[in-house]
């Protein structure tokens, strides 16, 4: 039981010991201060330095690592079919017809102005559609939207 406790909390115990050593060091520094009365600035500086390092160390040790999810497409050899639309992903996004059209024209490299002309609507309409589809796809830019759409096989 005791041994298990030791092994399990080895980390914590080590931290505790380190802290104790640190406090001893501070006490020693304080004692030094009594001898060299004009070393206050040095003492303060040392304290600052030590605790800055402590803070950095704490942050690095304890901060939870950021988790990023990366979708990697595993290619599966498949017969001839070059491209089939992934209807499941498409429905999951909830894009409307018009938004999908705009997305496809974006992927072809058209500007909003050109898309508007192609679809016989105003530039503002295209901006609205694009903004909405960016929100639905959770992206910030058209290039991201196109990239994601390709990865999800929504567009060729």
| Residues lying near DNA in the complex (CB under 7 A) | 1-5, 8, 94, 96-99, 111-113, 119, 121-125, 127-132, 134, 140-143
What angle separates helix 10-35 from helix 40-62, to the nearest 10 degrees?
170
List the one residue out of 97, 98, 84 whose CA is nearest residue 156.
84
Q: Which stretches of the chain bind a second copy, using CB under 8 A?
A: 26, 44, 47-60, 63, 65-82, 84, 106-111, 139-148, 153
Residue given tokens 């942050």 in the structure block:
59
In this complex, which beta carbon is closest to DNA, that of residue 32 or of residue 111? 111
The rounded distance, in Å, linking the Cα atoms of 84 and 51 is 59
Q: Which is nearer to DNA, 100 or 152 (CB)?
A: 100
Question: Least Å distance between CB 117 and DNA?
Answer: 11
């Amino acid at each position: 039981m005791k041994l298990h406790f030791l092994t399990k909390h080895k980390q914590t115990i080590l931290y505790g010991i380190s802290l104790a050593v640190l406090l001893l060091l501070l006490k020693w520094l304080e004692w030094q201060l009594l001898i060299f009365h004009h070393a206050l600035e040095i003492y303060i500086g040392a304290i600052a330095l030590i605790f800055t390092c402590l803070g950095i160390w704490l942050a690095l040790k304890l901060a939870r690592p950021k988790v990023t999810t990366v979708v990697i497409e595993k290619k599966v050899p498949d017969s001839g079919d070059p491209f089939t639309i992934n209807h499941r992903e498409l429905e999951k996004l909830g894009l409307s017809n018009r938004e999908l059209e705009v997305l496809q024209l974006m992927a072809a490299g058209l500007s909003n102005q050109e898309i508007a002309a192609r679809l016989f609507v105003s530039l503002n309409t295209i901006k609205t559609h694009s903004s909405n589809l960016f929100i639905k796809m959770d992206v910030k830019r058209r290039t991201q939207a196109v990239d994601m759409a390709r990865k999800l096989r929504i567009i060729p």
